[in-house]
Structure 1
Amino acid sequence: MKFLFDCDDTLYDLSWPFKMCLKEFQLHVPQEQIDSFYACYRAHGDAIFSKIQNNQITVDQSGAYRILKACEEYGIPFSEEDAVLFQQCYKHYQQKISMSPVFHDYFSSTKSECGILTNGEDMHQRNKLRTLQVFSYIPANHIFTSGQIGVSKPDIRAFQYVMKALDEKASDWFYIGDNYINDMEGARKAGLHTIHFNRHHQKEGPCSDHVVYTEEELILLLRELEGRE
């Protein structure tokens, strides 16, 4: 089998560094609103992602902006200085992210061909992948970032670039990702099969060939697909 993975919120829980910073800054977000607050934070970052892609702003500027706007939306007092410090905290915990043993066991034992396609500034994403120890399992020439390619998901050209670089047919590959629009719709339009790892129970739809909700369910599905070969 041939599997192409997203990185953020697929190979690890992207919300973990954010939640650690919430604790450190003692932001008064009710427990039942943490997930929606996090979604708001992500949405404000996604809204200006193209500016990072076009080198108009830095990753740090985007990070400070999104926590500031999320706090504004939730009526939480938070200064620009606080936002800069929050982003520094977030970067600190990003350096401590890890893949679960479930993923390490899978990548160390699978015979399937695996690759990565992730949105984000090239060096920033590769540093995350190094922290996750992905390079121990997946060769560098199978790892692609939107910053490197010059186009981001869900644009089908991102997927087409990877298939051309690997000299592969899209129909032979599965794409695994957490975001329905960026990952499932983009991959499907490019001709790949799709596995929606909906870790945070967000939007779903018909472009997903399979939907799973936990890392364990995902690995079971990958093993099942491998067994069909």
Structure 2
Amino acid sequence: MKAVFFDLDDTLYDQLEPFQIAFDCVFPGVNDFSIVDLFTKSREYSDRVFAQTESGEMTLAQMHRYRMVHAFHDLGRKISDDEADEFQKVYKEHQYKISLIPEMKRILQYLYKKNIPLFITTNGPSAHQRSKINALEIGNWIPSEHIFISSEIGFAKPDKEYFDYVNAKTKTGSTHSYMIGDSFANDIAGAVQAEWNAIWVNTKNRAKSHPHIQPEYEVNTYQQLEDMIRQLF
């Protein structure tokens, strides 16, 4: 039986919304670069040190500061550690004031009615990720036991062990597993290497981080994703 696995951040909800609110609050009047570029840069830097935060070599606070200081620097602006810390404080306050992207809500409902098993696969700290999941109110479609968070299981995307573990726990096969996510490095490259079906939600038109890896599907809008899901299932 086919099964669908959703990434959380920037897939089920738009992570840019709380990021924009924090930016406007902490850096009012700064408009000499694109907020999307800043967000993308910050994600790139957090991905670079993700393994260190998982192992405990770097604290989350250090990672949050690191990604913002370096993201701003790449875009030609210097910020202080205090400004980076203040940004993270406001950002975190709004990260739990989120809602499902409308198309994603319809997709969940459609697949649920089709009796397709639904799961969440996400990297990050347990309490933080579960707080966001709770804010999205998706329990009607995806029960708690269908949620796989890297810090809880000891493996993280894109490692093949993560995907193999999830398949084993869910009694699903790789050839019938569909990974839907925005991160090419974590969601798509990991899924392809684990021989899952990969659907890249590339709404911000990012370049592939692994040029030699080709996902089965790529969409640039959530409406395209919804149309594709109705064709595949």
Q: CA deviation at 1:27?
A: 5.7
For residues 101-159 of structure 1, what are the alpha-carbon distances to aligned partners after superposition, in whole Å with 9 as ceiling and x for unaligned?
Answer: 22223323422111111111122111111111122310112110111121211111110
Structure 2 segments unaligned to the other structure (5+ residues): none
Partners of 2:137 and 2:57 lie apart in 1 by: 30
Partners of 2:202 and 2:78 lie apart in 1 by: 32
The aligned residue for residue 109 of structure 2 is 108
Range 39-48 or range 164-173, more displaced: 39-48
Is the contact made by 2:107 and 2:229 (CA closer than 8 Å) also made in structure 1? no
Alignment pair present for 1:219 and 2:226: yes
Select the residue among 121, 138, 141 that pairs with 2:145: 141
For residues 170-202 of structure 1, what are the alpha-carbon distances to aligned partners after superposition, in whole Å with 9 as ceiling and x for unaligned?
Answer: 111111111222111211111211111112111
Partners of 1:109 and 1:211 lie apart in 2 by: 20
Q: How does 1:129-168 map to 2 (within 5 A)?
A: 129-168=133-172
* Cα RMSD after superposing both structures: 1.8
Partners of 1:136 and 1:30 lie apart in 2 by: 43
Alignment pair present for 1:56 and 2:57: yes
Partners of 1:195 and 1:44 lie apart in 2 by: 23
The aligned residue for residue 98 of structure 2 is 97
Select the residue among 187, 193, 208 that pairs with 2:191: 187
Is the contact made by 1:174 and 1:192 (CA closer than 8 Å) also made in structure 2? yes
The amino acid across from 2:86 in the alignment is L
Range 2-11 or range 204-213, more displaced: 204-213
Partners of 2:232 and 2:3 lie apart in 1 by: 10
Is the contact made by 1:52 and 1:121 (CA closer than 8 Å) also made in structure 2? no
State TM-score, norm by structure 2.
0.89
Structure 1 segments unaligned to the other structure (5+ residues): none
Same amino acid, percent of matched pairs = 31
Q: CA deviation at 1:17?
A: 1.4
Count residues in correspondence: 225
Report SS of the residue matched to 2:104: helix
State TM-score, norm by structure 1.
0.91
Report SS of the residue matched to 2:148: strand
Q: How does 1:8-157 map to 2 (within 5 A)?
A: 8-25=9-26, 26=28, 28-31=30-33, 33-110=34-111, 111=114, 112-157=116-161
